[in-house]
Structure 1
């Protein structure tokens, strides 16, 4: 993202599952306050997936993870950084009976772009949602039935 943000938020969290819930709720609230309520649910889910990955795979004892949200004219960017730079994320296909392993597939399907930036200490996983989303055309079969006057 090369644009200057119109709105920006950053908060560090302790590496506990409860922190992911707090970050998700904060993202939902902020996007609504920032005038993008239609993007709030997807943004919250992306924060949850990336934050969950940070807690499960990226945190070290007594080290925090950071969630940043930036709103520009064209996109919302979610960034989550953690101290474990040697563990770079990559999508994988989880077995049907596995409880974990689908987070990055969700991020890839939901976001318009995502990636990883290696930091001096740790890594930053980011994704973006375009503010102007493409509208999916309604198929004829899904249109409401015409009403006929009698």
Structure 2
């Protein structure tokens, strides 16, 4: 895992938050589709259409894990998107803190187990943090900076 150099909950004065949004979803498979589509639209609306597809895929994988492995009856999962000057942060939280996700080494015949490998391949950093109830899986995508002109 590549962890952020500091606790991502502590604001970095050199990387101010520009946008922040969170949505709670019922733990049903159709919510994964809703979260994925909302993420792509929001990231593009925030001015980063080049990141929208990666963000959409990451949310899809993390939300699916929250529904399959982190759901508790009567509890929702949350998707939070935070845009800073340098990063797009995606965090998906659910109510089961005892089920910490770990990348697996699936065989070619395995039907599951590739989601975190995809997340890890796309993310600049990712990790898991405990919450009072449950856990949060977070991912950071770096914002590409335009090259300086002549």
TM tier, smaller: 0.7 to 0.9
Equivalent in 12, 17, 27 of residue 24 of structure 2: 12
> How many pairs were matched up?
135
Partner SS, residue 27 of structure 1: helix
Task: Give unpaired runs (5+ residues) of structure 2.
Answer: 1-7
Within 1, Cα distance between the matches of 2:100 and 2:108?
Answer: 24
Report the CA distance between 1:31 and its aligned residue: 0.7
Structure 1 residues 37 and 57: alpha-carbon distance in aligned structure 2, compared to 1, 3 A threshold: same
2:65 — aligned with what?
Answer: 53
1:62 matched to 2:62? The reply is no
Report the CA distance between 1:67 and its aligned residue: 0.2
1:76 — aligned with what?
Answer: 88
Equivalent in 107, 111, 114 of residue 95 of structure 1: 107
Q: Larger Cα Rg: Structure 1 or Structure 2?
A: 1
Partner SS, residue 8 of structure 1: strand
Q: Which runs of 4+ in 1 moved over 6 A?
A: none
Structure 1 residues 16 and 133: alpha-carbon distance in aligned structure 2, compared to 1, 3 A threshold: farther
TM-score by length of 1: 0.86
TM-score by length of 2: 0.86
Report the CA distance between 1:95 and its aligned residue: 1.6
Report the CA distance between 1:94 and its aligned residue: 1.0
Equivalent in 25, 43, 48 of residue 36 of structure 1: 48
Task: Give unpaired runs (5+ residues) of structure 1.
Answer: 136-150
1:22 matched to 2:34? The reply is yes
RMSD value, Cα: 1.5
